[in-house]
Structure 1
Amino acid sequence: MRPRLSIATRLTVLFATVATVVLAALGVAIYLSARHDLVAQDFTELENKVALIADLAAGGAAGQRAQRLAEALGHHPDIEFHIIDEHGTPLFSTASPLLRKHARTQPADLAVRRHDWTLADGSCLHVLHLRQPLADGSTLTTLLAIDDARHAAFLQRFRHLLAIAIVTAALASSLLGGYVVRRTLRPLRALSDEARQITAGRLQRRLSADAAPAELEQLAQTLNGMLARLQQDFARLTEFSGDLAHELRTPITNMLTQVQVVLAHPRSNDAYRETLASCAEELQRLAQTVSDLLYLAQAEAPGALPSREHVALEDVVDSLLEFYSLLAEDRQLQLRREGRASVQGNRLMLHRAIANLLSNALQHATAGTPVVVTLEEAAGQCRITVHNSGTAISADILPRLFDRFHRGERGHTRSDGAGLGLAITRAIVQAHGGSATVTSGATGTTFELLLPSRPATPSA
């Protein structure tokens, strides 16, 4: 497996590569610019010599042109001259035979034009080859050439100097870039060190990024939000584990005590049968608690809804009212539904949520009073309320009624319940994207479920 490079190393290598490429491109541009300027200087010098030749040829007697040209041009060894008159008679020439031979194949220009000729021996020359008219009506054919190798030594030294400068600058840029990258990433390392110190026992700690760049500050805030949620969930899990242990310990202890007492001395068959019946009751309570816990875990899981369908809530409520009618009659309570509503949701889960509220209302309602289920639908939301008349619940108990294993005050819950019904109801409602609340006062207690009529469409 290839070792993974750190961000600092990657940024340093990238910075070094970019710096080297940029410096190399700059060096090539400088070299080409210098060479272009040298070539331009050569042609400028040749053009000046063309003007000088025209002046020398126009001044004085025609028979002395060759002498004047030799005196003026003879001290320019870097330039090759070949000047002939209109009759083809050479007036002055320092050109090599190869250059003269090549010139015979090239027509002379009537105006100054710059040429680059490559001769048979491979040498490259900068050339002006033109026909110059004179004031007396005669013409001169002028050939001037400068070898391109004239500046070769200088350009070679210049290339070496540029290469050394580019390599040095690239190394310096890489080292400085690495230092800058590591210094810039120092807040990230500090953030990592702080995060490393956060453990399950230190979830209350938070990451500090006051002096960090804006990007790291946003990352720290996101991580702190995650830590806050983890701390809250961990606290709930710890509380849930303690409550669960207490809930399971009580029936197990009861069964163990009864069995030990019965086994201490010989008993009659009736005594054994009574003990087994009591143990069966405790086991049934345990089984119900475990079943409720599994259902609650499924309801709270992401994507808890197995399916969605159109649910007419009045049909669900009517079937529940019919189911609880005998129990209500036994307790001298009246069951009533008001309104109609429908939602997109899971029928079985909604059935259980409303059933839990009805069971709770029937348990705590005052005899001779109605238990009313109201359905309302407006503005894309569905409201389900279950109201029963009875003793008001104290304000400090209300916020915890939906917590797991919470039974509230004596007289407000069933004595045989595990305290999971309302927690299951809230989990089901939240799985549908809604909320559950409760209010209680002199007129009784009202549980309210608020559900969206249609599920939210995921944004693209």
Structure 2
Amino acid sequence: MSSWWKRRSLKLRLTLWYAAATAVVVAVFAWVVYEIVERRLGAELDRQLRIDFDVIEAQLDKDATGQIRWLVRGAHGDEGYARLSAWFEVWSEGKQLLFRHWPVREADIKNPLPAPVESILRFYTVELEHDLHVRIMERPARVHELGVIVRVFRDETDTRRTLAQIVEVFVLAAPLAVFLASLGGYFVARRSLAPVAAMAEQAKQITSESLAERLPNPNPHDELGQLAAVFNQTLQRLENSFTELKRFTADASHELRTPLTALRTVGEVALRQGDNPTALRETIGSMLEEAQRLNDLIESL
């Protein structure tokens, strides 16, 4: 994986980093939004349960036989709606069911809940049937002098549907956001690295014969501009070095040419005067002097 990653272009790696960063941000944002909405919907459901409890507690009474009864009263005389919407149970502190009102008939209740464990205020969620989740509040109350525990129910279907819709929106929107971020990242990476491509193309054209050329530097104030400036300074030093080398080569050629020319001239003279030993001796001495001069010149180089 590491070798594969290193073989990819910097443009592609930057694009993938943009996409990965966007995916992480979207995931964190979705989680935060989900948690906030879930908590607020849960708090609203608990608030409605408290209101239901207050209304129901005020309407509980005992008949002449001591049985719990519900004196149902709607907000505007609509007792029928109140009977349909109310969902609660009344238990004694001894865990005996005293009254039950569910939105279904008693015979249709498949999974009745057990008695409350403790006589305290508590909220919790249970699944009564498949995909039927309800929020429950249990709270102690008094019907005249009788201590009871009222268990109030609220259907969580709408709450869960809202949360599911939020998840669906983020599931659909997240790939689009990552795709757009990838496009934006590719555009930004391409635009940011365009000076590098231009510098690389120009650097390919520079040879020992064209050291006077320089890399393009549209913005000398950013990091790429500073890099181009350093390369241009290096090219300037190379150009100066090549100029000095050419000058040195020309001077060395001139200095070497003089003793070599003298050696050649003396040798030609010696060939023409080959029958004169004295002249030959002087010629050889002169050639040795020029050879020594040439040796001294080479050592000085």
Q: Same fold (TM over 0.5)?
A: yes
Q: Structure 2 vs 1, CA of residues 290 and 49 (structure 1 numbering), >3 Å: closer, same or farther?
A: same
- Residue correspondences, number: 286
Shift in CA distance, 288/193, structure 1 to aligned 2, threshold 3 Å = same
Question: What is the CA deviation profile of residues 167-223 of structure 1, one whole-angstrom value per residue up to 9, with x for unaligned ones?
Answer: 101101110221122123323333334444433233333445344653233333323
Residue aligning to 1:81: 88
Judged with a 3 Å threshold, the aligned counterparts in structure 2 of structure 1 residues 122 and 20 are, in CA distance, closer, same or farther, namely: closer
* 1:229 corresponds to which of 211, 218, 237: 237
TM-score when normalising by structure 1: 0.54
Identity of aligned residues (%): 26
Matched ranges for 1:23-62 at <5 A: 23-57=26-60
Matched residue SS, 2:89: strand
Give structure 1 stretches of 5+ with no counterpart.
294-460
- Greater alpha carbon shift after TM alignment, 176-185 vs 35-44: 35-44
Amino acid at match of 2:88: F
Query: Which residue of structure 2 lines up, in the alignment, with residue 68 of structure 1?
Result: 72
Aligned position for 1:343? none
Return 20-29 or 90-99, whichever deviates more. Answer: 90-99
Partner-residue secondary structure (3-state), 2:274: coil
Q: For residue 195 of structure 2, what is the amino acid of its counterpart?
A: P
Deviates further, 53-62 or 187-196:
53-62
**Alpha-carbon shift at residue 165 of structure 1 (Å):** 0.2
Aligned 8 A contact 2:198 2:216 in 1: no
Match of 1:242 in 2: 250
1:22 to 20, 25, 38: 25
Q: Which residue of 1 aligns with 2:113?
A: 100
| Residue 257 of structure 1, CA deviation | 2.7
Structure 2: distance between partners of 1:186 and 1:56: 77
What code does the residue aligned with 1:205 have? E
Q: Structure 1 residue 289: deviation in Å?
A: 2.2
Q: CA deviation at 1:28?
A: 2.1
Gaps of 5+ in 2: 74-78
Matched, 1:128 2:137: yes
Give the TM-score of the pair, scaled to structure 2.
0.78
CA RMSD of aligned residues (A): 3.5
Alpha-carbon distance between aligned partners in 2 of 1:198 and 1:29, rounded to the nearest angstrom: 55
Aligned residue number for residue 7 of structure 1: 10
Letter in 2 for 1:42: L
Please, which moves more after superposition, 179-188 or 118-127?
118-127
Show the 5 A alignment for 1:368-379. Answer: none
Q: Kindly tell me: are residues 90 and 72 of structure 1, through their superposed partners in 2, closer, same or farther at Cα, counting changes over 3 Å?
A: farther
**Residues 24-423 of structure 1: matches in 2 within 5 Å?**
24-57=27-60, 65-66=69-70, 68=72, 74-76=83-85, 80-85=87-92, 88=96, 90-94=98-102, 98-101=111-114, 103-104=115-116, 106-109=117-120, 112-116=121-125, 125-134=134-143, 136-146=144-154, 151-211=159-219, 213-264=221-272, 266-293=274-301
Question: Measured at CA, do residues 122 and 182 of structure 1 come closer, stay the same or move farther in structure 2, by a change above 3 Å?
Answer: closer
- Cα deviation for residue 10 of structure 1 reads 2.1
3-state SS in 2 of match to 1:201: coil
